[in-house]
Amino acid sequence: MKIFRILVLFVCFVLPQFVRADETEQVERLAAEYAECTGAEDRLQLANKFFAYLQEIEYIDEPIAFPADSHIDSVDVNVYYYVSEWFYGEGDYQRAIDYGLRAGQACTEKVDAVSKSDVYALLGAVYFRKGAFDKAVEALSQSYETDKAIGDMDRMSSTLNSIASVFVAAGKPQDAEKYIQEAIAANSLTENLTRRAVLYGTASELYRSLDETDRSLDYARKALDTERMVGDSARIGVRLSQLASAQLSSSKIEEARRSLEEAIPLLLRSGNLHSWGICQNQMGDILASEDKNDEAAACYLDAAMLFLKQGDKYNELHAREGLYKTMKDESPRDAMMHLERAKLLQDSIYQQETGEALGKYNAIYYNDILQKEKERTERRNRIVLLSVIFAAIVFIALIAAAASVTYRRHRKKIKVYEHNINSMQQMYDQLRLKYQDVEAYTMQESVKLTADDKKFLSQLASVIYALSERGVTDIDSIASQLHISFATLRRRLALSLATTPSAYIQRMRMQKAKDLLQGYRDMPITEVAEKCGYTQVQNFTRAFTRFYGTTPSDERKN
């Protein structure tokens, strides 16, 4: 068993350090070089060099390149955000905070709202890992206010979930309940199952802290069932760990052991060492309850080493307390060292300032709730007034309809409508509307879009349609019309349709060409090419042939 544990620690901690040490050193070097550079043009070149390296090591899927006219604030935010995210993934939380704060300082009015929200959400997550709950709530509150201004229900549910997690970790689960229930309500308006599983998992931990074991188990099972529907094995491991916590609280020891035995290999394979460390703490709790103190201490020690390295005070505290309880009889001196460390961690986490900060945010949130209730009341009053007006209109319309019927009876002949000389324009307008039908242009039929995705893709389709009429099809111009950055456009399309901007724009142009060729047979192919953004008909013909395997002329004949 000891040999196996040593091998696990070697594979989990030592090997990854050798593999990623050079990459981390290169990321740090490029980030430092960028931060020290003062010239806007040089910074732009360094930013593009940085993102080219991230793509080279496959940290990002699609290339990110900033054009010469990019605003430096937007460039700063993207560079520092990705550096912060890198160190967060490495468990180097202090450097993640340093670069996250740099990104926050660059969040001026020139930076899009989604990027700002991402920065504050990342800072909140890092502060949470550090046990700085007051700072975590402060950052997350900024993210929540930004998401609320955008009106993005999915992002709002994510931020509210993070705030709930902070309150649970800070020992205030009774205050966390309103946040997680609000988050679940917001998520119900979307189709994001991955987020739903996370919310159910947080709810399970919340009700476990409130000693409502039945509700905790129910939410944990919902989280696992939802995650299995998504099929992400790494996340399934996390949900199994949450289920084990609920099972332990319900004294279902053997069920918890089985959940952990299934979770640990999944987490190790995926490289999720943080959740693996939590499982080690849980397994230590099980072994300690069976008086297997040596085995329990070994599990706690694995967790303590990991969380000390990552700077995760909250979970290290659990491990240190477990080490004291399991070692106090056999190794009292070592046990006292762990107890002293536990007290130091406890004093660091649960400061008076933290409680005051959380209470302050509670007041802010309650004001927000009151404002929402006021808006709901005003909305109800408007609905009543509109209902009365609608009833009056219906009554008047019925009288007018009766009068119209009487008038028509006295007419000798119903005038035949002439053929609309603008029928071609009407058909063309219908084609324009078709391009706003997002359901018709998902990249695959199995894609399920949220309401926000549909709204975003409808706006994107309108912009592509309008710009292609003027021969403008470059991605930066399209992103600019939507008032977002290229990186944001790339992320939104990747999340909603699992595609790239260039692929989606090309598909839209080719579908438009096909519709014009089939629906307007008198329209010259040169004009079709122009309406799809091609200045040279030869380029259009080549692109169409590559996409459909047939020429525009053959497509029209068929």
d(CA 380, CA 226): 35
Cβ within 8 Å of residue 459, ≥6 positions away:
482
For residue 98, give every residue at least 6 positions away whose Cβ sits within 8 Å of its Cβ, in sequence order, or none: 84
Radius of gyration of the chain (CA): 30
Residue 14: predicted pLDDT: 46
The pLDDT of residue 440: 45
Nearest by Cα to 264 from 294, 232, 298, 234? 234
Angle between helices 113-130 and 133-150 (to 10 degrees): 160
Q: Looking at domain 423-557, what is its CATH homologous superfamily? A: Homeodomain-like (1.10.10.60)
The number of residues making up the chain comes to: 558
Q: Report which DSSP code applies to 419.
A: P
How many Å separate Cα 379 from the centre of its chain? Answer: 30
Residues 6 or more apart in contact with residue 272 via CB below 8 angstroms: 234, 237, 238
The DSSP element (H or E) to which 151 belongs, if any, is none
Long-range CB pairs of 533-537, under 8 A, 24+ apart, other chains included: 533/467, 533/468, 533/469, 533/471, 533/472, 533/473, 533/509, 534/471, 535/471
- The secondary structure of residue 440, as a DSSP letter, is G
In this prediction, residue 120 carries a pLDDT of 94
pLDDT for 10 equals: 47
Q: Tell me the mean pLDDT per 10 residues along the chain, length 558.
A: 48 49 89 90 91 88 85 92 90 91 91 91 90 88 89 89 87 86 90 91 90 93 93 88 91 93 90 90 93 93 89 87 91 88 77 48 44 58 78 81 64 41 49 51 55 83 81 83 86 82 86 86 87 86 86 85
Which of 38, 50, 37 has its CA nearest to residue 81? Answer: 50
Tokens of residue 216, six digits: 């905790």
Q: Which of 490, 482, 430, 485 is nearest to 458 (CA)?
A: 482
Q: How far apart are CA 407 and CA 123, in angstroms?
A: 71
Distance from chain centroid for Cα 248: 30
Q: What is the Cα–Cα distance from 57 to 50, expressed in whole angstroms?
A: 11
Amino acid at 418: E
Looking at residue 296, its amino acid is A
* CA–CA separation, 284 and 473 (whole Å): 59
pLDDT of residue 288: 92
Structure tokens at 390: 């609608």
Contact 307, 277 (CB under 8 A): yes
CATH level 2 (architecture), domain 1-143:
Alpha Horseshoe (1.25)
Q: Give the relative orientation of helices 293-310 and 273-289 as an angle to the nearest 10 degrees.
A: 150
Among all chains, which residue has been given the structure tokens 């509109």?
A: 386
- Close Cβ partners of 162 (under 8 Å, ≥ 6 residues apart): 121, 124, 125, 128, 136, 140, 143
